[in-house]
Amino acid sequence: MLRVPPSHEAADRARELAALGFSPLDALHLAFAEQAQAKWFATTDDGLLKRARVHRERVHVLVVGPDEVPLAVQGEKE
């Protein structure tokens, strides 16, 4: 398990993401995923998925639905 400690950088990034329309909690989760250099962020939240797709150039982690995770893994191997 990877633990990502709270940081001012993550809080600042969460504020940037919230300014794009992500909820504060979603923005914080995404900021921590980015800080951890995660490859994907899997969610069942359709609103979060839609907003992340709209802002895909500004979100530094690939946001996918659970059914897309195997496709994301396969894409890495290619």
Name which of 8, 72, 19 is nearest 63 in CA terms: 72
Task: Quote the pTM value.
Answer: 0.85
For residue range 27-54, list pLDDT tens digits in order.
Answer: 999 999 999 999 889 999 999 999 999 9
Residue with the bigger pLDDT between 1 and 28: it is 28
For residue 26, with 0-12 CB atoms within 10 Å meaning exposed, 13-18 middle and 19 or more buried, which class applies?
Answer: buried
Amino acid at 62: L
